[in-house]
Amino acid sequence: MEADPTAAAVPTHQVATNNNNNVGSEPSAMDITTISTDTPTSSTDDAPSNTTNSNIDNTANGNNLGVEPISRVSEEQELYPIAVLVDELKNEDVQLRLNAIRNLGTIAMALGPQRTRDELIPFLNDGIDDEDEVLLAVAEELANFSEHVGGPEFAHYLLNPLENLATVEEVLVRDKAVESMNKIVKLLNPSQITHYFLPLLKRLTTADWFTGRISACGLYAVGYSKCTPEQQNELRTAFAQLIQDDTPMVKRAAAKALADFSKELTQQQLISHILPLFLRLTNDDQDTVRLLTVEDLVQIAKMFTPDECRQYLLSTLRSLGQDRSWRVRYMVATHFNELCEALGESITREEMVTLFVSLIKDSEGEVKILSIGQAPAYSKLIDQQIVIDKILPCIKDLVIDTNQHVRAAVATNISGFAPILGEDLTIEYLLPLFLQLLKDDFPDVRLNIISKLENVNQVIGVERLSQSLLPAIVELAEDKQWRVRLAIIEYIPLLASQLGVGFFDEKLLGLCLSWLGDAVFSIRDAATTNLKKLVEIFGYDWAKDTVLPQVIDMAHNENYLYRMTTLFTLSTMAVSLTPDIIKEKVLPTVIELVDDPIPNVRFNVAKSLEVLVPILKQNSTAEISTKVIEVLNKLSKDSDVDVRFFAEKALVLGKIRD
């Protein structure tokens, strides 16, 4: 929470009030806070006398009955919604108070526009002093309240309560109040701007407490276009005062608002009014102020010609890129490509390379990481030879950087250079760096480089990539970090589709089968999915002759995990196999494990049959159906409850219960 150490302490939830803030209405004739929900509505004898000034005419609307009590009952019924609101707003339960605020629209509809303006809005303006959560809800609700006060013609009535909310200490409440005011100001006509909005903006701009001045910064852009030239000049002068404010929090808010305010000005006004303010902020003592000027620079550059950018902004950008605070340099790195786009092609090619190199070589790791992330996109904007001469040497140095997170960032982004360099240069400059990164001690580096190899494959082809990197890939297949092994598994189908079945069987098949026995379940699970994808690539005949025999052998392993993996693998691959192969190879192996001593294996037999039954039903013989029924009936009588459950489920699914 922001605080001004030089100012007197005020209560956290205090809402600033201003006796001159009431807009367009007199105080309500009804003392809302005196109304109780206990007031009886079935009798008029005890009706309070102070309700007679309500907006109800007892003799109007053709009431010829002349019975006053009926009118007074109606009056009390109309007051009832506000009475409920008041009671709920005073409830100790915050949630009830929040619910009351969320129902403001419903209450306003019951009251009608006139009474909402005369009674509900003044109550919200003067009567709410609550938790930040409730105040935030009020600010949010008022943004869409214009229709309840009578439309845009009366939307200025909503400014007063929002002005009060814009001065509280809690930043979330202030920001929401400013956001809501911006929405409402767009509905106002020039007359309303002059009589209601501009006085409000002046009060906030000159407020003693810094919170009001912070909120004022976010309001200058929205109403500027609806002002007269004289008023616009006053707004520019007042905004300049905020930029020169003594409080850092106000200057930060002004720096944030400068970009949006700049969009409303002419080219000449930008140069004569905004540019001096911008330069003042870039030289501020506080780095938290200076770093915000980077986004302002992007916006101003978009509105300047390339020559004006070179004349007015380039030297400032260089200063920000070499700022003594790493946070400012970090912000320049974050927006570097946006800056290049805004400044134009000629400045990007001629002036920005040196700045980028200084950022990617920065002493602060966070700045380097951000710059690495921008490097591929920036390299597309400059000549290929400059990339080779200036950028790639930096990348080569970063591959062996002492900061492991920097190396991980290089691994993530280095493949982005491949489309820029083309096939031959990628092989010459990037492949050696890939190999180096694949052997890095930090697992995230290895993982990142593997996950991005597809980009390189598209440039140089998977065959050449595999020839260069296959030894490293095989080594990583047994990496101690399971996430690295998982990344290799996910990359295998791409390799297989390009290498062909002969090369795959010779170099990688044994590797794929070895993953089925991995100690980590996620690896075993991924390995079964991998085999299914390989069947789709190489065909079911390849699966029948090459893979299935080795998978079926695992069903006889002494370790029950291998037997379970066999079931997982067979049921996963089944959808890619023909019914004949399932009958000949898969089903006998599954049924063989029905008497396994381990319950987990037996209920996985039932789960496997649940997958196989729909496939077998497509071309099932009586013999096969009988055999499956016998197995499932046997499992449905198993001593283990889980085995019985999955057996019953498979029987129901196949509708083959005897």
What is the spatial distance between Cα 458 and Cα 78, in angstroms, rounded to a whole number?
A: 72
For residue 110, pLDDT over 90 is answered with: no
The pLDDT tens digits for 157-176 are: 999 899 989 998 888 999 99
Q: What is the pLDDT of residue 466?
A: 72
| Mean pLDDT of all residues belonging to the chain | 81
Q: What is the pLDDT of residue 326?
A: 95
Give me 323's structure tokens. Answer: 């700022």
Give me 445's structure tokens. Answer: 């580096």
Going by pLDDT thresholds of 50, 70 and 90, the confidence category of residue 602 is confident
For residue 578, pLDDT over 80 is answered with: yes
For residue 67, pLDDT over 50 is answered with: no
Long-range pairs for 202-208 at CB < 8 Å and ≥24 separation?
Answer: 202/238, 203/18, 203/20, 203/21, 203/163, 204/163, 204/166, 204/167, 205/238, 205/241, 205/242, 207/16, 207/167, 208/7
Percentage of the chain lying above the pLDDT 90 cut: 29
What does the pLDDT average to over 568-582?
87
Closest CA to 453 of 471, 473, 439: 473
Identify the weakest region by mean pLDDT among 114-123, 309-318, 355-364. 114-123
For residue 557, pLDDT over 60 is answered with: yes
Going by pLDDT thresholds of 50, 70 and 90, the confidence category of residue 505 is confident
Predicted model pTM:
0.68
Give the domains, in start order, of the chain with CATH numbers.
13-187 (no CATH), 265-382 (1.25.10.10), 542-658 (1.25.10.10)
The pLDDT tens digits for 604-618 are: 888 888 888 777 776
What does the pLDDT average to over 307-314?
90
What does the pLDDT average to over 404-415?
94
485 within 8 A of 518, measured Cβ to Cβ: yes
